[in-house]
Structure 1
Amino acid sequence: MIVVRNEKLRDLTRYAVLIALTTVMTMLIQIPTPGTKGYLNLGDMVVFLAAMILGKKGGFVVGGVGSALADLLSGYSYYAPITFVVKGLEGFFAGALLDTKLGQKTPIIPTAIGGVWMAIGYYIAEIFMYGGKAALASIPGNMVQGLFGAVVAVVLSVALKRTKVFNS
């Protein structure tokens, strides 16, 4: 019989729920971006929440796995490896910066930086996939998506902190 300590089970459950939620929120509303054959979505807010709750490691795992899984399930399998890296690093960067004094005081800055990284990361990958002009066309939508996710995640984190979700 395997015995799992309560903290490990709690963390494993949080990872699973946040990965699933990232996948669902990424797939729930998809706004196509014609130039790159990609789509805008709401998954970033969950990636940032994961970074806030689980730290940089959790941000990476939830962002990478949850978002790549959504690509696989949505028929964008060619994006899945790129998404794993870009969204994983989005969560990692946000989580790492949230651990700083500035991040603790003003969480919108680390999450916004994560969102900006996401737009830059996809831009770099899409240069090789579609060329510079098409890749450049994806930046505004990705920036809006990332910054919207950052704002919503910060607002939700305040509400979740009041419910003691972050403290348990």
Structure 2
Amino acid sequence: MRITTKKLVLCALMTAIVFLITFTPFLQIPSPMTQGYYNIGDAAIMITAILLGRRVGFIAGGIGSALADIVTGYYIYAPATLIIKGIEGYIIGAIGSRKNGVPSRLRQAIAVAAGGLEMVLGYFIYQATVMRMINPTLGMASIIADLPGNLIQGALSAVLALIFLTVLFRTRAVKNLLR
């Protein structure tokens, strides 16, 4: 695998964008059920992975989101976020990106749906295992009650990502990027 300067710069840029969108306080909604928060940072991960592929999706999604957890004080979620959001970016990039050209809208939709579902499942497993060991008062009812919030987060992020991707794929800059 050859890493070009262009790819490295784009990876760093998208990591910063994922961080900023996840970190921005007015875009965060605290979850009283599980001591976490909802955000639309997944939209940035989805866009990144479809435009730049699974490796960049993994790095930008995992690192950008985990840094946001650390900076906002949700330290307990940072290790899980690094893995869960990284895998989310990898799955989306593996399904939804193409080396040359624009992936079909159906392919993009399947990719963001798969990535969003992985995110929901990943946090459910983390909360049901690790978080319950750390905080024994956290019941399964609270974790299950958190599922709709994560599903809405994934669905809203997917819709936003698909809208932005439709616009981005029409721009000359993105067309040049995909060459």
User: CA offsets per residue over residues 129-157 of structure 1, 9 Å max, x none?
Assistant: 13422221111111111111111111111
Are 2:128 and 1:127 equivalent residues in the alignment?
yes
Task: Give the aligned CA root-mean-square deviation in angstroms.
Answer: 1.8
Matched with 1:141 is 149
Going from structure 1 to structure 2, the CA distance change for 1:99 and 1:27 (only over 3 Å counts) comes to closer
Matched with 2:19 is 23
The 3-state SS of whatever aligns with 2:51 is helix
Matched with 2:6 is 10
- The structure 1 segments of at least 4 consecutive aligned residues displaced by more than 2 Å after TM superposition are 164-168
Matched with 1:33 is 31
| Structure 2 counterpart of 1:58, from 15, 38, 56 | 56
Which blocks of at least 5 consecutive residues in structure 2 are unaligned? 132-137
Give the letter for the 1:77 counterpart: Y
- Note if contact 2:48-2:57 (Cα within 8 Å) is conserved in structure 1: yes
Matched with 1:104 is 103
Aligned counterparts of 1:164 and 1:126: Cα–Cα separation in 2? 43
Give the letter for the 1:156 counterpart: F
Percent identity between the aligned chains? Answer: 39
Matched with 2:74 is 76
The 3-state SS of whatever aligns with 1:165 is helix
- Note if contact 2:54-2:94 (Cα within 8 Å) is conserved in structure 1: yes
The CA deviation at 1:80 is 0.4
Which blocks of at least 5 consecutive residues in structure 1 are unaligned? none
State the aligned residue count.
161
- Note if contact 1:64-1:85 (Cα within 8 Å) is conserved in structure 2: yes
User: CA offsets per residue over residues 97-153 of structure 1, 9 Å max, x none?
Assistant: 1148xx932111210111111011000000121342222111111111111111111
Matched with 1:161 is 169
